[in-house]
Amino acid sequence: MKSIQPGKQRKNMYNAPLHKKRKSMSAHLEENLLLKYDKRSMSIVKGDTVKVMRGSFKGHEDKVANVNIKKRTLEIEGITMSKADGNKIAKPVNHSNVLITKLNLTDKWRRKKLERGLSEEVKKEIEKEAEEQIKEVEEEQKKIEEEKKLAEAEEEITEEEPSEEKEEKPEVKSAKPKTTAAKKTTETKKPAEKKETQKKKIETTKKTPAKKKTTTMKKKTTSTKKEEK
């Protein structure tokens, strides 16, 4: 159902199913592309290079990072806004404020749609561009995989270091009881030494009176001999 009233048009636009919203999210092609593909507009896809024609980022040209079909907005690389906490997030841009400067030809269904009604020379050019773009995407994926592997290896190294420290700590704990045991042995030795010293003193005390008796006895004998004389 079509209507002239703008309120009904907006209502139908916001309440439309996703497959209809996807088709309506299109933008005009640049003059070079318009003459090459003989088409005025195309639906925007992730990977298309795009130029902003209106707003504060007018003149900015970069790749489309994400397409939000529900909100009918685009996320373009390099267009960001800062939040209250200082973090930066992608600023959404309306698809109507954009001009397509280069198409993403990695999808075969899109290529077939473009090649309809075109000459064979143009078809060959499209296929060559598609091969180059596919190679670029593969190289980017390889780089991302290598970076992930390096990050995983670094994480493993960082995990191994604290584990080694944990293994060393119990050795220190085991050394502490040894010191306590050594203290106990020294404590046990001390009373034993004290007992030995006490025994020696007792023996010396026992020996000294015996000597005194002998001297007294000698004196007595000498005194008795004198009396007899």
Model confidence pLDDT, tens digit, residues 37-67: 999 999 999 999 999 999 999 999 999 999 9
Largest CA distance in the chain: 169
Per-residue pLDDT tens digits for 105-130: 999 999 998 998 889 999 999 999 99
Per-residue pLDDT tens digits for 80-110: 999 999 999 999 999 999 999 999 999 999 9
Q: Which domains does the chain have, with CATH numbers?
A: 7-104 (2.30.30.30), 106-169 (no CATH)
Residue 200: is it exposed, middle or buried by C-beta count within 10 angstroms (0-12/13-18/19+)?
A: exposed
- Separation between Cα atoms, residue 170 and residue 43, nearest integer Å: 65
- For residues 15, 20, 22 and 24, what is the CA-based torsion angle, rounded to 10 degrees? -90
Pairing of strands 88-94, 73-82: antiparallel
